[in-house]
Amino acid sequence: MGPLAVTQILALISLTVALDNGLLKTPPMGWMAWERFRCDIDCKDDPENCISEDLFRDTADRLAEDGWKELGYEYIIVDDCWMSMLRDEHGRLQPEPSRFPGGIAKLARYIHDRGLKLGIYADMGTHTCMGFPGTTLDKIEIDAQTFASWGVDYLKFDGCYSNPVEQILGYPRMSKALNATGRPMAYSCSLPVYVGGLPPNVNYSFLGDICHLWRNYYDIQDSWDSVQGIIEWFSNNQDDLQPAAGPGRWNDPDMLIIGNFGLSVDQARSQMALWAIMAAPLIMSNDLRNLDNSARAILQNKVAIAINQDPMGIQGRRLLQEKNRIEVYWRPLSHSASALVFLSRRTDMPYLYHTSLAKLKYDAGNYEAYDVFTGSTVTGLNATTQLTFSINPSGVVMWYIYPEKQSRQRETLHYQNKKASQLTSHKAKPGHLTVL
């Protein structure tokens, strides 16, 4: 379908579909089943890893008890393969009873009782990507009402087994149907990835009016090559993608795979750093019951989370691609602060990189920098100070940079949570970093 046809269809859709329920003013944080657990439905021989209510209850316990919730990780999102192969006698989706004997409403109550939120998966098409019942155009309203009745807080709406016309009609129709339920639900749309991810086939201004976030590109896999491919695509197309993001409307490069099998510690830090710079959703897909300490430290890094959750919501950009295969990324933050990431695409050995803030277009003045992953503070910087640091292969150095005058007002960085939000000039989400 060409861009003209898309435009004509959009012109027919009422502007009343705008999804403005006040949610996701900062990127969502939480956990999703798909990348780590896929469509394992063999609960007989693999009960610990199959898609079942036990997996989501276990994960809720971990989020609530192991320090994740306090940092902002609040959504537990069920992905594909939760459904029965048949709708019920009223035409409603229903969970597979052998794997979800208590039903989704009971699972939602369990998750809500722990101060968390439940997300669920559906597909704009005849079938889900794994062959379970899809949501065709005539089923959108009943599915939205079903999810609301269960207490669902977040919908991921995929697009397998549908065509572009159905997608361009179905995604806004689901937005309107979610609004009509009266229950605030975050809405994740997969439309862009099915039509190439870029204008003119994707109208990001319109998409931002009907969805809170959207998948732009292919699914992430458990490998550094996959992470690099996603970073490269987003960076190469940042002029189209970066302006689309902001409070309540986010580009989604897919899940954090930190803690699985495909990334080294340096590569895991790189994913966390770049997702923070890109203002991306921080949705983990891993086994929180069996997470090593290095992965936990990266995913629970308060400053990286604070950068990601900055309330201005401006997506960062790639500034430089050096011939030495070092790349520099930058994001503006609240309180005249900013974040820099120096990413090594090298595979040989640690590389000594030389630069200055002036080279990166910083204004004249005095600065301090906090190294996000080492915890050290660099003082006495001005724009012309020559900087030299070592970057590991496929690793990063990540700095939080702020004007020195702020340091004189407070000598240390302060990490704000809800209980201490009165110290800030705005109500900060857990994990927000404020320099006073």
Residue 263 lies in a domain: yes
User: For residue 127, what is the DSSP state?
Assistant: B
Residue 231 lies in a domain: yes
How large is the average pLDDT for residues 124-139? 98
Could you write out the DSSP letters of every residue in 194-209?
HTTSSTTT--HHHHHH
pLDDT over 60 (residue 10): no
Q: Are residues 65 and 148 both part of a single domain?
A: yes
Q: Specify the pLDDT at position 335.
A: 95
Yes or no: say if 328 and 341 are a contact pair by the CB < 8 Å rule.
yes
Residue 326, strand partner residues: 344
- Among the three residues 269, 300, 331, which one is the final residue of a domain in this structure? 300
Mean pLDDT of the chain: 91
Specify whether 329 is located in the same domain as 252: no
Indicate whether 308 belongs to any domain.
no
**CA separation, residue 355 to residues 18, 286, 386 (Å):** 45, 36, 6
* Antiparallel, parallel or unpaired: β 326-332 and 338-344: antiparallel
pLDDT for res 420: 40
pLDDT value at 5 more than 50: no
Residue 18 has pLDDT above 70, yes or no: no
C-alpha dist (Å) from residue 252 to 28, 106, 120, 315, 414: 10, 29, 17, 11, 28
Select the more confidently predicted residue: 158 or 414. Answer: 158
Domain-terminating residue out of 300, 329, 350: 300
Is 287 inside a domain boundary?
Answer: yes
Asked if 218 and 288 sit in the same domain, the reply is: yes
- Residue with more model confidence, 413 or 360: 360
pLDDT for the residue 21: 84
Range of the domain at 385: 317-411
pLDDT of residue 97 exceeding 50, the answer is yes
Query: Taking the alpha carbons of 422, 423, 426, 432 in that order, is the dihedral positive or negative?
Result: negative
Q: Which three-class secondary structure state does DSSP give residue 101?
A: coil
CA angle 256, 258, 263 (to 5 degrees): 120
For the segment 107-131, the average pLDDT, to the nearest whole number, is 98
Q: Please check whether residues 392 and 265 belong to one and the same domain.
A: no
Please report whether residue 347 resides in a domain: yes
Is the domain of 278 the same as that of 389?
no
Is the domain of 141 the same as that of 188?
yes
Of 34-48, 117-131, 407-421, the range with the lowest mean pLDDT is 407-421
* 436 in a structural domain: no
**Per-residue pLDDT, 19:** 72
First to last CA, the chain: 52
- Does residue 344 share a domain with residue 209? no
Smallest Cα–Cα separation from 119: which of 178, 19, 210, 31? Answer: 31
Among 267, 300, 333, where does a domain finish? 300
Which token pair is 179?
């609004």
**Which CATH number belongs to the domain containing residue 364 in this structure?**
2.60.40.1180
Per the structure, how many domains does the chain have?
2
pTM of the model: 0.91
Helices (H), 264-412: 265-277, 293-299, 302-308, 404-409
- 282 and 199 in a common domain: yes
Q: Are residues 268 and 399 in the same domain?
A: no
The DSSP call for residue 73 is -
Q: Which residues are marked as active site?
A: 158, 219
Domain of 141, CATH number, reads 3.20.20.70
Cis preceding linkage at 200, omega within 30: yes
What does the alpha-carbon distance between residue 291 and residue 283 come to, in Å, rounded to a whole number?
Answer: 15
Q: Are residues 284 and 329 in the same domain?
A: no
Which DSSP string do the residues of 243-292 spell out, in sequence order? GG-BTTBEEE---B-TTSSS--HHHHHHHHHHHHHTT--EEE-S-GGG--
Confidence of residue 408 (pLDDT cuts 50, 70, 90): low
Asked whether residue 368 falls in the same domain as residue 326, the answer is yes
Q: Establish if 433 belongs to a structural domain.
A: no
Residues 184 and 221 in one domain: yes
Q: Does the residue 57 lie in any domain?
A: yes
